[in-house]
Structure 1
């Protein structure tokens, strides 16, 4: 396997050069880019149509990280476009030459850039790279049509839909961090893994936020406010789990283990964020979330 590292800050010309050298035939190019913008479309729209996999989170559309018009343009050009909420890798692959560009950059203006305003990205070209598992993942993901994109029916083949609706919530409306203090520490250190990025987007966090403000923003989440309104003076674990089941609208339906895990996390985060609540064992075995008496 041979590889070559691209320029960290100015990678656009190198990506264009790789595409020009390696993509000649229809169906040859396979792209994986969780985020995809107009800049990504401009990069590949003149090439023979291929396949592209994006993350497909409705919040990506809201934040401008995913351009639906650009995806519709690709579909119109003959591309096969699919989405899956578990997509994180970034890949350009030539099935004819068994060569790829693999790295950290999305096909967005900040990801693929020729100037210092772009992100600091690591990308490299690799020959003889096996993408069989990635192709299988692509084939099992949600195929996006013009109709689906226009109706915002993005991804229903990932673990969860990532989509809040007027009729309910998604499990991904709950922070993924197990501790707000640890989340705050990662914000301060600049350690941004997938969990941290999810929670930054969900709670609109800033690296300048204090730990106390992180707790306030958690309590201000819509799902948390609705849950605490339901809890009132107190509710037992099983009742809160049933409330989640009735209000989570993810497809596929989360498992019982998922709900148990989320209730335990919510217990911990709520107690961490507010001095008004505590977890208490009542009736021998059941853990209740209880509002303390004033």
Structure 2
């Protein structure tokens, strides 16, 4: 009788995984269980993404630091409209449930949470106009609006979390968090306020500028918007130095485009003048 010896031996991968589980702390095991529990039922291959938390804010509160604000902006990428920045100080005892990165929420969820955040937290909003974006560039205009939103809060914070890599020039400590709208709850709340406010502004602009579809795409460079720019030309709400807008302006309003000076032609004229002066000096004229 031939016996299968391999049946008595555990697989190498299984033994390694068992050993790893024994060495792993209980907290890690609990975390893995929690992540699995958040995955949608019946969907295989779905990676659960943890929502933003109030952990960083609570750590500062334990150290006696309060108030704490989160701030974020909406509208850096569009071809038209302003940049809207928001700052939010959440009440630790009245945090609305369901706050998340605004990009992960539907329009209906954002509207519902917007009302709850404004009812329970300290909120301020600042707007950087299209003219400021054209004058300062989109990054500087966004940082200006973010700082204005922090200054406009009813109570000045002692610590500020801002989404992105650039810190703000505020009177209090400011901490930049890359991807902060998906990590820090206060920033996520600010992202919702900024997004809803800007969407409402773009819907209002759509009434003044029919045919561009601002109420649908909110000024972003989607095919429908690019087609409207090509057919109708830019409005006063379009950002002049964004490439598609500049191309549409050159097509529909060429008289507004400053001609580029031909530096080589100027150099050639200067050379001819210098040559004639030298020739005159040589002949004694």
Structure 2 length normalisation: TM-score? 0.32
Structure 1 length normalisation: TM-score? 0.31
Higher RCO, 1 vs 2 (CA within 8 Å, ≥6 residues apart): 2
Between Structure 1 and Structure 2, the one with more strand by share is: 1
Which structure has the bigger radius of gyration?
2
